[in-house]
Amino acid sequence: LDTKTPPYSTSDRTSFASVSARDRWPVIITGAIDDVHRATSSASDPETRDEGKRIVEGLAKLKYELQHNRQMTPLPDDGQPDIASYNKELEQLGSPNWFDVPWLYSECYLYRRMNTLFSLSRKWKNYDVFARQKMTTFKSSRPAVTELAGRYKDLVTQLESGDGAAAGSTDEEREAADRILFTEMCEICLWGNATDLSLLTSLTYEDIQKLQGSKARKEAEKNIVSNDFPTAFEVLKSAQKQSNSKERRVDIILDNAGFELFVDLILAGFLLSANLADTIVLHPKSIPWFVSDVLPKDFGGLLNALADPKRFYETQSEDEKHKDVTPEPLSDQEAEELSFLFERWSEYHAEGKLVIRPNLFWTEGGSYWRLPKTAPDLYEDLKESELVIFKGDLNYRKLTGDAMWDPTTPFADAIGPLGPKSGIRILALRTCKADVVVGLSPGEDERLRAMEGGGGDSGAQASNVPLAEYKQLGKSGLRVSVPILGAMSFGDKRWQDWVIEEDEAMPILKAAYDRGLNTWDTANVYSNGVSEEIIGKPIQKYDIPRHKLLILTKCCGTVREGNSSEVMALQDIDKTVGYVNQRGLSRQGIFTAVEASLARLQTSYIDLLQIHRYDKTVPVEETMKALHDLVESGKVRYIGASSMWATQFATMQFTAEKHGWTKFISMQNYYNLLYREEEREMNRFCNETGVGLIPEWYSANLVNVGHSQWGPLSAGQLARPTAQSGKTTRSVGKSVSDTDSAIIDRVQELAEKKGWKMSHVALAWLNKRISSPIIGFSSVARIDEALAIRDKELTLEEEKYLEELYKDKPVMGHS
């Protein structure tokens, strides 16, 4: 029934299949565990609580088997007809292990097995473990939703009234305009955003027609590597012209709920209003599937949200309650436009023009090549449709058998029995994430893979931006980006008013990843945990493969629970009820901190866990054994340390060495042109023992250590002339000594002489002496400025010129 072309497998370590199995799936299961645990805790019914606990145990067992590459076991029979076919295929595959199995089958098996835990219960049978996440995502898309709603209302009003844009237009002008509008709507569904929607209002049909072939249209289409929108439009237009009593139907095989379902309904509504179809059939999944796929009740949930938009958008979410944030009220116009959508789509649904039609076939374990034999009734039904639109990456994988096709293979060939001879007219809308791709012209695949990001899971990225280089972290096998992105500057302004909050941080993190800056450093105490939350979100938001990022965090300080923005001082812990063991470097403190960090980061492991200072109150042996056990458990891959006396660091290293435990591979200390006290002992010890130096961005605003500030650029002092000192938010009130001013002047002098930025001079001096500096960024421009240091070097004379004015300073920041 399937293609003979080999499928992608989780055993291929170079593929997104392997990344999914090892990195993505454990995180997804952890999220499900957290959701059920939360729901169980709030349940009052004893049977519900008992069953909830058993479901959590079942999910935990599944996660353990996956992470430890155990043999996949037959699905328990929950009474549904697909269980037999799942288990038969598992047997035919030879009862494989998780990391050596066809990707498509194993991922479907994962979600089907999760569902059996619920379907075999009494109280949880219809529970959607992903529902909370889907509605949260839709609510967070409010700006795009309200903009689209307004555009859509204006557009369909014009289309249906015959006034405004359509008035006085010829048939040819109207058809040309419809072609453009159809393409725009399909692109909204493809990209899932509201880009270029301004053309949907105020333009006449003649104006819109002129957009064909324009610069704006070419810009919108440049990232579409295979584009059959014109052909799809001709199919619908031809059916419209030949219209008789026959139903003109368009089917949409849905993908994600939330905002993506919203834009799918925008497309459906447009097709009906423009008379390009008279019936739209939506095909959701029957069970919770691939986290965000649409279920029938998601359609009802979305309509309910639009029915009372003020209540939906102005009611605090759990996250907003936690952060004590009050949502902005909707304007009357926004509420009216959203209510218009509810009324229009509800009317279409009631009239039978908008139909919801689930089918168990969509959640079976195989490819859509099996459709004619496995679901012949569905196969025959789809032949009655003028156009069948398959949404998303998974549907594309199933259409093509998730096989390792030559990228130049025609799409019609790759979908096998669903090709032209089937009688089903298929349009697949998919942005490239998984490995499989077909329908490319010769040389196109090579061109895309040569671009930064290489296409596929991270998407093709622009190639005209500066790229990071990589260096070995000491003598370890770990390679880190130069520089490392410092995330102290991301968080909650209630913590420090100079931090950048989530909305601004996301594009900076995306730009960093696109430029190869893949090593991100944070700490549990930064913004009381909010920094870690922000660092973890781009993985899901931008579909970044977890193994392509290095996440560094720290433990020692206590993170206050609840929505307080305070970080608790160690000396205050013993006075605070409930926090006595949630601090420091005891075994209890470390394990508690790591579990909390993993939850905030939404990851199953930390690449480099660093102790955030030395803890005199705990035996060194207890600390080092706890850290070693975390590495052994797989929750931590490497360990490092932060500022302390060299004797303290040496004691910890030698203790680990004596017992055969994991040793530190990094030291995150204070070191730059204006603070060189670490050269006396710490830097020398690290260099001689193979420990990598990663000086941190650090602000003395947070602890009582005087007016000085440290970091690779001394909190920006080395990146701007002395005349500008004290003019930034973080430097207000901070004095600069005469000696430091003289050194900064020399940095400026060399920068002007060499045509560099001042930051390049300071970093060129530093990078020669360390593995990589940790730098906080407030904009994409600052990232590009830091990356431009690549290949810049100072002469020995220039280095001496910068160093010779330095005067000894008191050692600070050590515990």
Query: Residues 57, 164: one domain?
Result: no
Q: What is the pLDDT of residues 339-351, one digit of tens each?
A: 999 999 999 999 9
Domain-embedded: residue 815: no
Q: Tokens for 195, please give them.
A: 């880009």
Query: By the 8 A CB rule, do 6 and 436 touch?
Result: no
Bridge partners (DSSP) listed for residue 490: 500
Domain-embedded: residue 468: no
Q: What is the pLDDT of residue 212?
A: 45
pTM value? Answer: 0.62
Query: Residues 484, 630: one domain?
Result: yes
Q: What is the pLDDT of residue 725?
A: 62
Q: What is the pLDDT of residue 196?
A: 35
Domain-embedded: residue 366: no
Q: How far apart are CA 189 and CA 712, in angstroms?
A: 44
The CATH code of the domain that includes 84 is: 1.20.930.60
Query: Residues 107, 196: one domain?
Result: no
Q: What is the pLDDT of residue 815?
A: 63
Q: What is the pLDDT of residue 167?
A: 56
Query: By the 8 A CB rule, do 326 and 316 touch?
Result: yes
Q: What is the pLDDT of residue 162?
A: 64
CB within 8 A of 712, min separation 6: which ones? Answer: 483, 671, 672, 695, 697, 762, 763, 766, 773, 774, 775
CA-nearest of 783, 167, 158 to 508 is 783
Domain-embedded: residue 727: yes
Q: Among 129, 156, 172, where does a domain finish?
A: 129
* Catalytic residue list contains 526: yes
Q: What is the pLDDT of residue 215?
A: 53
Q: How far apart are CA 468 and CA 788, in angstroms?
A: 9
pLDDT, mean of each 10-residue run, the chain (815 residues):
92 85 88 91 95 96 94 97 97 96 98 98 96 84 86 85 60 86 88 43 46 51 84 95 85 94 96 96 98 96 97 85 81 96 97 98 98 98 98 96 96 97 96 89 81 46 61 92 94 85 91 92 93 93 90 91 57 62 89 95 96 95 98 96 95 98 96 92 96 72 38 65 60 71 92 86 92 90 83 90 94 75
Q: Among 358, 376, 410, where does a domain finish?
A: 358
Cα–Cα separations (whole angstroms), residue 32 to 26, 109, 168, 668: 10, 16, 56, 35
CA dihedral 625, 629, 635, 639 (to 10 degrees): 40
Query: Which residues in 588-622 are b (16+ Cβ under 10 Å) and which e?
Result: bbbbbbbebbbbbbbbbbbbbbbbbbbbeebebeb
Q: What is the pLDDT of residues 136-160, one digit of tens each?
A: 878 878 888 898 899 899 888 888 8
Residue with tokens 């970044």: 544
What's the gap between Cα 239 and its chain centre? Answer: 41
Domain-embedded: residue 291: yes
Residue with tokens 């889907």: 134
Domain-embedded: residue 217: yes
Q: What is the pLDDT of residue 505?
A: 92
Look at the chain and report how many structural domains it folds into: 3
The CATH code of the domain that includes 792 is: 3.20.20.100
- Other Cβ atoms within 10 Å of 260 Cβ, number: 23
Query: Residues 236, 197: one domain?
Result: yes
CA-nearest of 323, 225, 774, 332 to 550 is 774
Query: Residues 143, 120: one domain?
Result: no
Query: Residues 799, 768: one domain?
Result: yes
Query: Residues 110, 247: one domain?
Result: no
Q: Tokens for 115, please give them.
A: 């569902």
Query: Residues 69, 167: one domain?
Result: no
Query: Residues 499, 487: one domain?
Result: yes
Domain-embedded: residue 738: yes
Query: Residues 593, 690: one domain?
Result: yes
Q: How far apart are CA 721 and CA 531, in angstroms?
A: 30
Q: How far apart are CA 501 and CA 531, in angstroms?
A: 9
Start-to-end C-alpha separation, the chain: 67
Q: Among 75, 108, 129, where does a domain finish?
A: 129
Q: How far apart are CA 51 and CA 35, in angstroms?
A: 14
Q: 684 lies in which domain range? A: 479-699+714-803
Q: How many CA atoms lie within 13 A of 743 on its CB side?
A: 25
Query: Residues 682, 756: one domain?
Result: yes
Cα–Cα separations (whole angstroms), residue 391 to 180, 210, 430, 811: 20, 29, 6, 60
Catalytic residue among 86, 109, 379, 526: 526
Q: What is the pLDDT of residue 755?
A: 82
Q: What is the pLDDT of residue 194?
A: 34
Q: Tokens for 599, please give them.
A: 């939850």
Query: Residues 100, 155: one domain?
Result: no
Domain-embedded: residue 413: no
